[in-house]
Amino acid sequence: MEVTRFGMPPAGKSLLGEFGLSMHVESSGNGETRNILIDFGFTSETLENNLAMLRIAPESLDALVLSHGHYDHFGGLAGFLQHNQRRLRADLPLYLGGEEAFCTREWTAGKIEDFGYIDRHALANAKVKVLIAETPSVIAGHGFTTGNIPAVPFEKVLSPSQMHVGIKDGIGCFPDKLATEKQKARVIPDDFQHELATCFNVKGRGLVVITSCSHRGVVNTVRRAMEVSGVKKVHAVAGGFHLAPQKEDYVRQTVAALKEINPDVVIPMHCTGEMFIEILQKEMPEKFIRSYTGSRYVFGV
Confidence category of residue 158, pLDDT binned at 50, 70, 90? confident
Q: What pLDDT is recorded for position 10?
A: 74
Please give the Cα distance from 166 to 174 (Å, whole number).
Answer: 6
Mean pLDDT across the chain: 95
Q: What pLDDT is recorded for position 189?
A: 96
Q: What pLDDT is recorded for position 152?
A: 85
Instruction: Return the bridge partners of 27, or none.
Output: 34
Q: What pLDDT is recorded for position 8?
A: 73
The count of residues in the chain is: 301
Distances (CA, A) of 66 to 78, 154, 188, 198: 12, 26, 21, 9
**145-183 as b/e, with b when 16 or more CB fall inside 10 Å?**
bbbbbebeeebebbebbbbbbebeeeebbebeebeeebe
Confidence category of residue 99, pLDDT binned at 50, 70, 90? very high
Alpha helices in the chain (DSSP H): 44-53, 71-74, 77-84, 120-125, 218-229, 248-261, 274-283
Please give the Cα distance from 82 to 100 (Å, whole number).
Answer: 23
Q: What pLDDT is recorded for position 173?
A: 97
Please give the Cα distance from 186 to 202 (Å, whole number).
Answer: 43
* Sequential DSSP letters for 136-186: --EETTTEEE--S----TT-----SEEEE-EEETTEEE-GGGS-GGGTT-S
**C-beta atoms surrounding 26 within 10 Å:** 14
> Domains of the chain by range and CATH?
2-9+16-298 (3.60.15.10)
Q: What pLDDT is recorded for position 266?
A: 98
pLDDT tens profile 5-44: 987 777 778 999 999 999 999 999 989 999 999 999 999 9
Report whether the peptide linkage leading into residue 154 is cis, meaning its omega lies within 30 degrees of zero: yes
Confidence category of residue 153, pLDDT binned at 50, 70, 90? confident
Q: What pLDDT is recorded for position 11?
A: 76
**C-beta atoms surrounding 282 within 10 Å:** 10
Q: Which amino acid belongs to residue 83?
A: H
pLDDT tens profile 221-280: 999 999 999 999 999 999 999 999 999 999 999 999 999 999 999 999 999 999 999 999
- Is residue 301's pLDDT more than 70? no
Q: Which of 5-19, 38-52, 116-130, 139-153 has the lowest mean pLDDT?
A: 5-19
Q: Which amino acid belongs to residue 84?
A: N
**C-beta atoms surrounding 96 within 10 Å:** 25
> Which residues are within 8 A (CB) of 110 and not within 5 positions of it... i.e. 6 or more apart?
none
Q: For 184-209, what is the mean pLDDT? A: 97
Note the pTM of the prediction, 2 decimals. 0.96
